[in-house]
């Protein structure tokens, strides 16, 4: 079995906590903060609702749009950190929970407007020069789609 080298060299805990607080503020509707924390060449790795891999979401404008799309479904969507931040070199990992009221607009959804939704996910952020340059998203989309009663057909 291969030994895994776990290190905390790189980001200091205070910087990581500050960046995560700003990341959380972005997802909670403060899109202006994206200019401060997202690199111009930021790259997203995620399974998207449209079947894409996230590569079309890039830079500051792409992240603002991506966050806005999620918030369109639930304007009161609130994200909080469940676990972390965990720092490893130039990476930060957080597990989050999001909860809010469905506003409508998801194709194929049968849930009534006002339905409370709660789902979880994990973000991995790679940091360079104090900004997020890569973002990996792993969200429990199946749980969200089930709560929204999205049909497979």
Q: Which of 6-20, 23-37, 47-61 has the lowest mean pLDDT?
A: 47-61
**pTM to 2 decimal places:** 0.86
Domain boundaries, the chain: 13-147
Long-range contacts of 38-44 (CB under 8 A, 24+ apart): 38/63, 38/131, 38/132, 39/128, 39/129, 39/131, 39/132, 39/133, 41/133, 42/131, 42/132, 42/133, 42/134, 42/135, 43/133, 43/134, 43/135, 44/134, 44/135, 44/137
Architecture of domain 13-147: Roll (3.10)
For residues 142-150, give the mean pLDDT: 91
Digit-coded pLDDT (tens) for 79-130:
999 998 999 989 999 999 999 999 988 888 999 999 999 999 999 999 999 9
Mean pLDDT value across residues 40-47:
86
């Amino acid at each position: 079995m291969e030994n895994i080298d776990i290190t905390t060299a790189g980001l200091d805990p205070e910087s990581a906590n500050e960046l995560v607080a700003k990341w959380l503020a972005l997802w909670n509707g403060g899109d202006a903060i994206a200019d401060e924390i997202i690199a111009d060449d930021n790259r997203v790795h995620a399974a998207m609702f449209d079947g894409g891999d996230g590569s079309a979401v890039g830079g500051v404008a792409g992240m603002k749009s991506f966050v806005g799309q999620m918030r369109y479904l639930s304007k009161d969507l609130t994200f909080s950190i469940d676990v972390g931040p965990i720092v490893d070199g130039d990476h930060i990992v957080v597990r989050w929970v999001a909860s809010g009221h469905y506003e409508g607009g998801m194709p194929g959804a049968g849930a009534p407007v006002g339905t409370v939704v709660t789902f979880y996910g994990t973000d991995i952020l790679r940091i360079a020069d104090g900004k997020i340059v890569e973002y990996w998203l792993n969200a429990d989309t199946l749980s969200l789609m089930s709560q929204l009663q999205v049909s497979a057909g």
